[in-house]
Chain A
Amino acid sequence: MKIHEYQGKELFRKYGVPVPFGIPALTVEDALAAIPQVQKESGSDVVVVKAQIHAGGRGKGGGVKVAKTRADAEEAVRRIFGMNLVTPQTGPEGKKVQRLFVEQGLAIEHEYYLGMLLDRATGRVTVMASSEGGMDIEEVAATHPEKILKEQINPAVGWQDYQARRLGKRLGLGAGPTRELVTFLRALTRCYDEMDCSLLEINPLVTTKDGKVLALDAKLNFDDNALYRHPELAAWRDPSEEDPQEAAAKEWDLSYIALDGNIGCMVNGAGLAMATMDIIKYYGGQPANFLDVGGGATAAKVTAAFKIITSDPQVKAIFVNIFGGIMKCDTIASGVIAAVKEVGLAVPLVVRLEGTNVELGKQLLAESGLDIVAAADMADGAQKVVAAVAARKGGAQ
C-alpha cells in the first residue's frame, strides 16, 4: 500500500522525525488559505507548493513549485491543482492532481538521499544514504554505486547509533548535523519497523544553513501482508490513485494488476499467472491483466474475478488457465458458468483445465451449453485465444 507525501510526513512527525511545517489541501480554496498560515508559522515568505500524487518524479513534471511571494504561491496553486501531471513514473497518460501540500521553504545547505528497504540477499533491512541527493538517485545508483552508502540492521539488536555516526562521517556531515542525524535515524528506523514499511525514501533529506536535518520528502510503502496490524492506515487509502478493477479485486482478496493488452486472464497461482501472460505474448497476443484467483477460492470469488475481467472494456477475449491443486477444477467451472449467466459473454472464452477434479470441471462446462473453447494445454489455449482476438479484428474491418 502507498500513501501521499503529506500523510508520510504526518507519520514522521508522530515518530519524531523532523519535517518542515506544512498544510495539506483538497481544494484550491483550502490551498490558497494555507499559504499565509504557512508563511506566518515559518516566519518566511517562501513556500513550496507540491502536487500530491503517488508517483515519484513530480518535480520533473512541473508538480513542485518554490514560490518566493504569496502571489507566486497562489499562481502555483491555481496552475498545479487539477493539472494532468506526467512524470517518469506515471506513464504517458499522467495523473490528475487533486491534492496539494503547501509547505514552508527552507534555507538548504545540502541535499542528500536516504532510503530504507529489505535486502533480499541477507534478509535484513538496509539503510541507504548518498550525498548525491535530489532528483536522479537512480542514475547515481547506476553510474556511481560507490556513492550509495549502506548500513544493515541486525534484527537481534535493531538499529544502532554508531551506524548513524558512521553514515554522518562518510557523508561529510559536521559534528552538529551528525548529532541531528543520530536522533533522526533512531526515529526513522523505529517508524519503518513498527509500521511494517516495505519501502521508505526521503529524497531529498536536507541539512539547513542553521544545522538542522529534515525530511523534505516522504515516500512510504507498507507491507500488504501486515496491514491487519495497522487498521488506522485504511483511512489513508486514496481510491483515486487506484485502478478501478484493482480496487474491486482487492475487495475480493484477488491479486489483480491491470495491463495494456486485450486478452483477459484468469489463472490460479502467481507463477502460473505470470507464465500465462508470457505465453500469450510469445504467441503474439497482449495480456489485459494479471489475475491470480488464489488457491482456496470459492465459486463466488471466481464469479467476482470473471466479472472484473469482463468489466474492462479493452478485453476482446478471455483465457482461463487453471492447474488445480487446492483449487478444484469444478469450483472454477461453476464460478465461470455462474458469472456468464449473470453478466453474459460478449467475447470468446478459452478454458484450459488440469489438475484436481479436472473431469468433473470439463463435464460441467460441456453441459452448461455455453460457447466455450476448450484447450488441451497451456500452449493450445494461448494460441486459441490469440487467434480468437485476431479473428475478431478481421471481422470488424
Chain B
Amino acid sequence: MSVLVGYDTRLVVQGMSGATGAFHARGAVEYGTRVVAGVTPGKGGTKVEGLEPIPMYDTVDEAVRLAGANTSVVFVPPAGAADAILEAAAAGIELVIAITEGIPVRDMVRVKAALERDYPGVTLVGPNCPGVITPGQCKIGIMPGYIHKPGPIGVVSRSGTLTYEIVHQLSTLGLGQSTAIGIGGDPVKGMDFIEALALFADDPGTSAIFMIGEIGGSSEEEAAAFIKDHVKKPVAAFIGGQTAPPGKRMGHAGAIISGGKGAAKDKIEALQAAGIKVSPTPAEMGRTLASIL
C-alpha cells in the first residue's frame, strides 16, 4: 500500500520538452512510472528524445481527455510555473507535483487562494520539492530511485537531499518505505506536514513515519500537535538548521528565523512534548526511527 502515487498513477509531465523535464521524465519511465503524456505549449505533436512513444500535447486539457492523465508533474521554469499549476487544476488533474524552484511568493499566494476557492479537490505538492515516490511502483520527481526500497515507513520532508539521506539510511537498515513525500522548502506551498501525516496515519501499508522539518514558519509545531491527537503510529523526526543564525535565509525561501520565530529549538521541544523521538544529528535519523519500532 502507499499514498498519493502508485500503480494507478497516470502521469503527465508539464515542461517535458525542456532539458530538466525530459531528463526526469526518462528517469520516471525507467523506474516504471506510467508516463502517459507530455505538455509544452507549442510542442503538441512533436517527439522528445528518448521518450518517443509518449504523446506531446499543447495543453493539459488534451493530456487528460486524450491520454487519461490523472497526475501532473511541473518542470516549467519559475515565470510560467504558477500558470502551469492552475492549468493542471483546471484540466481536472487530481494531484499536481510542482518541482520548480524559485517561483515568486506573490504567484504562489494567488495560486493557493485559487486552488482553495475553485479546486478544493486538487492536491498540490510543492513547489520547490524533490517529488513523491512509492518505491517499486511509481517515481515522480528528481530523487535517485535506486536508494529506495518498498516497505512500511512513510517519509515526509521539507528538504530534498535530506530526504535522500533518511531514505538511504532506512534502506541500509533494511527498512523500506511506503511512500516518500517531499513537501518542499517554500513559504507558500500546497501539502504541509499535517495533510501528509493524515494520509500516512490512514494508510494500512504504513506502520511508522519519519518527518524532516527545518527552521522557519510553524508547520512543525502544528504537526506535533496533530500527531499527539491523531497519529497512533510511531513517529520520529529531525529538524535541520539548529545552528543557523537568525535573520539569514538558508537557501530555501522558507528557511529563515525571523522575529524570534521559527528556531529549531522550539520545534524540537514541541515535537518531544508530543512524544516524538527527535534524532540528534542528521546521521542518526534511520537509527532513531529503528529504535522506536
**A155 near B: Cβ within 8 Å?**
yes
Can you name 21 A-B residue pairings with CB atoms under 8 Å? A118-B105, A118-B188, A120-B219, A123-B113, A154-B113, A156-B113, A156-B114, A225-B104, A225-B105, A269-B161, A270-B251, A275-B159, A275-B165, A275-B238, A281-B243, A295-B101, A326-B20, A326-B142, A354-B164, A378-B281, A378-B283
Interface residue range, chain B = 35 or more
**B212 near A: Cβ within 8 Å?**
yes
In B233-290, which residues have CB < 8 Å from any A CB?
238, 240-245, 247-255, 259-260, 280-284
For A276, the chain B residues whose CB sits under 8 A away are: 282
In whole Å, how far is B246's beta carbon from the nearest beta carbon of chain A? 10
In whole Å, how far is A174's beta carbon from the nearest beta carbon of chain B? 31
Q: A225-B103, A225-B253 are in contact. Are A120 and B168 (CB under 8 A)?
A: no
**B130 near A: Cβ within 8 Å?**
yes
B241 & A274 in contact (Cβ 8 Å cutoff): yes
For B161, the chain A residues whose CB sits under 8 A away are: 267-269, 271-272, 323, 325
For A228, the chain B residues whose CB sits under 8 A away are: 78-79
**B110 near A: Cβ within 8 Å?**
yes
Interface residue range, chain A = 35 or more
**A175 near B: Cβ within 8 Å?**
no
- In the complex formed, the residue of B with least CB distance to A378 is B283
**A334 near B: Cβ within 8 Å?**
no
For B254, the chain A residues whose CB sits under 8 A away are: 120
B112 & A270 in contact (Cβ 8 Å cutoff): no
A275 & B162 in contact (Cβ 8 Å cutoff): yes
- In the complex formed, the residue of A with least CB distance to B131 is A325
B281 & A278 in contact (Cβ 8 Å cutoff): yes
Q: A125-B109, A270-B159, A325-B164 are in contact. Are A379 and B242 (CB under 8 A)?
A: no
B144 & A325 in contact (Cβ 8 Å cutoff): yes
**B217 near A: Cβ within 8 Å?**
yes
CA A267 to CA B282, docked complex, whole Å = 14
CA A295 to CA B102, docked complex, whole Å = 13
Select one of A121, A156, A274 contacting B218, CB under 8 A: A121
B162 & A290 in contact (Cβ 8 Å cutoff): no
CA A142 to CA B147, docked complex, whole Å = 45
For B114, the chain A residues whose CB sits under 8 A away are: 155-156
B217 & A120 in contact (Cβ 8 Å cutoff): yes
Q: A120-B217, A196-B105, A279-B281 are in contact. Are A271 and B243 (CB under 8 A)?
A: no
**B214 near A: Cβ within 8 Å?**
yes
For A326, the chain B residues whose CB sits under 8 A away are: 20, 23-24, 142
CA A223 to CA B104, docked complex, whole Å = 7
